[in-house]
Amino acid sequence: MAKQRILQFLVSLLILSSCQVNDEAPAIHSVSFETNGGTQIPTQEVTHGEVVTKPVDPERAGHEFLNWTKNDDPYNFEEEVLNDFTLIAEWEAIAVTYNVTFQFDNGAADSVVTVIENDFITEPNDPTKDDYVFVAWMSGEEVFDFATPITKETILIANYKEAYKPNVNPDATPFITEVLDFSPAPGQFVNYVDKEPSMENIIGDSHQFISLGTFGGSVTFKFDHSIMNNDGNDLAIYGNSFTGPYGDSCEPGIVMVCQDLNGNGIADDDEPWYQLKGSEYDKPETKHNFKITYFKPEEGENEYEIKYVSEYAGETEEGVLDFKPVEPFHQHAMFPNSSYYTEGQITFEGTCLASNLTEEDGIYSNNAYDWGYADNKGYEQEGVLQAADVFDLDNAVDKEGNKVNLVAVDFVKVHTATTDMAGWLGERSTEIVKAADISLLEIE
């Protein structure tokens, strides 16, 4: 009886233990995904012994997804899950590219160039458009800088301006028809005639002259047509240089030219001036962008002493131009009168030539330079060019000294090229009698 009861107890215990095991819930495991910079993948909760559902491949800019790894090995999504773990995304870097579209705005089809991210696009040859000149490639409202790395889809549009059109006049005359500006520097001849009548002196086939004063003094004029750039010399500027047994009198002037780009008959501030390169242009002693300010003597100060401040290559110099030796010959102020300026000071900037003035026993010689300057060597010419220095527009350079190709010019400016003072001869002042379009002169 006792044995029977013990057996029943053991059977009941076994049945109870079996029921307790079957009622226990299965384990749940978390499987997370590390995308290493890719799009996020949600964590999966997986029943113990089940498998992970393979997610949609993540995406990452500049990369191609390869697979999921566990412990650095590719993961098998048929593997039963027995614990928590993290799957790691494996990537391969790929090149990101963008299209750069060139829109020529001249009837030509757009050009599309594919560029790797952060690389640079090569600037193409300048496009052409009838009656226009290419200016720049524009990105929106800004000029595109080709040193900029490409980081997005880019559209570049060609920007043009109207091409320069020479003024062709079938009734053109050879000589100056209008003086646009006369801005003399201090000088012994300046105040003999006021500004307006002085400007009339060099119009037409003149035999009078204007004196520009010392360095920087200038005159700007034009013709009734454009001076075309033909073979050989194109422009003649007449002065009063001479040579003789007691020394030379050559008072060189720098010659500048400008195109009337908008056709309004005025040399506007945004229309660039070009220098006609002369023999001294590239010499180290020539001072480009030389700047000088002259000060009108105050009441009670000597009118024959003109104070100045010059600036060049970061250095400043103060001094006085001494006109006292010319006082016996010129009984008036040396600073231009109020018909020229109402201010108490005037400033000029331009190319200044090194002095070649010589003096011996009180005899001064303003010697000529080799070529390329007004009022310099006109005495060498004969016939209708007698007293003229001649100029070829092919010698034009921009402010950096680069050669420019000019089909024609409309405005001419001459300024005195030196700061020389020659004792009783006074300042070395460029003097202009007239100017002419050589192509319209009857040269034998």
pLDDT, tens digit (0-9, with 9 covering 90-100), for 424-442: 999 999 999 999 999 999 8
Rg for the chain, CA atoms, rounded: 43
Q: What is the pLDDT of residue 245?
A: 80
Q: How far apart are CA 26 and CA 310, in angstroms?
A: 96
Q: Which domains does the chain have, with CATH numbers?
A: 97-162 (2.60.40.4270), 178-440 (no CATH)
Average pLDDT of 340-346? Answer: 96
Q: How far apart are CA 270 and CA 33, in angstroms?
A: 64
Lowest-pLDDT range of 2-11, 100-109, 123-132, 398-407:
2-11
Provide CB contacts within 8 A for 115, sequence distance 6+: 97, 98, 99, 100, 121, 150
Q: How far apart are CA 227 and CA 362, in angstroms?
A: 43
Per the prediction, the chain carries an average pLDDT of 93
pLDDT, tens digit (0-9, with 9 covering 90-100), for 348-377: 999 999 999 999 888 899 999 999 999 999
Measure CA 436 to chain center.
Answer: 32
Q: How far apart are CA 173 and CA 158, in angstroms?
A: 40
pLDDT, tens digit (0-9, with 9 covering 90-100), for 56-115: 999 998 899 999 999 999 999 999 999 999 999 999 988 889 999 999 999 999 999 999
| Beta-sheet pairing, 235-238 with 434-437 | antiparallel
